[in-house]
Amino acid sequence: MSFFDDDEPRTTRTSPRKPVASAVGPGTDPQQLMVRRLIAAGVGLLVIIILVFGIKGCLNSRKEQALKDYNRDVASLVQESNTTAEDFFSALTTGGTSPIEVQSQINQLRQRATTERRQAENISPPGDMKPAQRSLLLALGVIEEAMGKVAERIPGALSTDSATAEPAVIAVATEMRAFLAADVVYTRRTLALIDQVLKDNDIGGQTIQRSRFLPNDGWLDPPIVARRIHADAGRGAGADASARPATAGTHGHGLIAVTVGNVTLAAGADASNRIPASSNLTFNVKIANQGENPETDVRVRVSITPQRGGKPITAQKTVDQTTAGNEVTVPVALAQSPPIGAATVKVEVRKVTGEVNTTNNSQEYPAIFDR
């Protein structure tokens, strides 16, 4: 070995690379690749369809539930309003110890009606139910307003002064048309529209609440209203004897006598009828049914007109029925003390259906009211 052998460059030997083995098996078939892509596309489309129908199903389910909820909310509210109306008519027919107490009861019921109307305003109707909602608010608002107007008129209707009672009774009967209108609006619009929307959306098995705001049509007739609310002085309100057919035979009454306490009134210019002017003065009027038929709703009226001027005092009492050939004494109480001094007292039994001769139906008496 030479001393310089280590300085010679070394030769690097590179091993030849092994050839990369080709993939085992046959090459990819283009047709098979196309099938795979179609399958993948079909699966994707199916997923999209499922999502679309799933979302639509959820939306339909939510819409159906919203419509059912609205119908349920309206049903609950109308049930409450029906009860309020029922209590309203009960308060009118049962009455209280005074006209002011009856008025207070009706005002309380009006507050309930106000609360129900506000509850209706807080209902959020689905889009399809908005027309029904507008009609509902109209019906409940009409009831609320009518109750308030009846409350205003009740003290006058229950007055013993027929001049005050009769127009007030007519006003009360007029307000009853509002309850009828509310029933019509609710039935023809709210109820009908709710029913139609439920049918359009194939929603069955639902109960739609009906209204009964006005109990019956008798409340539209002033004489019937007067009888039901015990407004004796107002029972001639709206009555037109000539408009009703009369039964066969004669009809009518005659005035027999009038007493006030121990005083029997005498007619004529020379008569002197001195009457104590107390606050609870009652005229006892004896009348006779001089016809051949029984008569109903016979009105007996007393009017006092001061000679020195002033508004007349009028009181009226209604007899449910008189029988042919019989007499009856009708107590007619004044609502206030008559003025001190001279006055004219007029007493009359009002004409009934079929009555022809009315010459003996009334009489005027000179009187002096003193303490």
Tokens 């409450």 correspond to 80
pTM > 0.85: yes or no = no
Phi, psi of 301 (to 5 degrees): -125, 140
Nearest-CA neighbor of 144 among 201, 195, 106?
Answer: 106
Q: Where are the domains of the chain?
A: 50-234, 244-370
Q: How many CA atoms lie within 13 A of 277 on its CB side?
A: 16
* Helices marked H in the chain: 30-94, 99-121, 130-157, 162-185, 192-200, 222-228
Q: Report the SS3 class of residue 199.
A: helix
pLDDT in tens, the chain (371 residues): 444 444 444 555 555 555 555 444 555 677 777 777 778 777 777 777 776 655 555 555 788 999 999 999 999 999 999 999 999 999 999 877 789 999 999 999 999 999 999 999 999 999 899 999 999 999 999 999 999 999 999 999 998 888 889 999 999 999 999 999 999 999 999 999 999 999 999 998 899 999 999 999 999 999 999 989 999 888 878 765 545 677 889 999 999 999 999 999 999 888 889 999 888 899 999 999 999 999 988 989 999 999 888 888 888 888 889 999 999 999 999 888 898 999 999 999 999 989 999 999 999 999 999 98
CATH code of the region 244-370: 2.60.40.1510
